[in-house]
Structure 1
Amino acid sequence: MAVDWIGFGYAAAIAIGGFIGYKRKGSVMSLMAGLVFGWFAAYGAYNTLMTPKTSRSY
C-alpha cells in the first residue's frame, strides 16, 4: 500500500495557500476556503490510499 504523496502534497499546498492569503491580506475567506478544500483533497487522497486495489480481467 503506497502513500499518495502527490495527493497529500496537493492538499497541503491548498491549505498553505489559504493561510498565506490570510497572512498577507487578512482574508478570512481565503483561509476558510484553503482549509476546507485542502481537507477535501486530503480526504480524497486518504480514500485513494485505503481503497483496496482489485485486479480485473476483461
Structure 2
Amino acid sequence: MLPLSGGHTTAFTSRPTKRLVESAQTRWRAITGAHLAALVRAGAKFENGVLVERQEQAA
C-alpha cells in the first residue's frame, strides 16, 4: 500500500471512493442522443425532442 498524506493508505481511501461512485451511478442517466451532439454544437434547434428546420430568410 502506498501511504498518503496523514498516514492513510490507498486501500483506506479507495473503499469510500468506490462506494460514492457506485452510489452516484444509480442516479446517472445514459445519454441516448449522443449522436445528436454535433447538431447541438452547430446550433440546431429542437422542440420536444424533434429537430426544427431553419426557415430561410428573404434578403
> TM-score, normalised to structure 2's length?
0.34
Q: Which has the higher contact order (CA 8 A, sep 6+)?
A: 1
Larger proportion of strand = 2
Higher Rg of the two aligned structures: 2
TM-score (normalizing by structure 1): 0.34
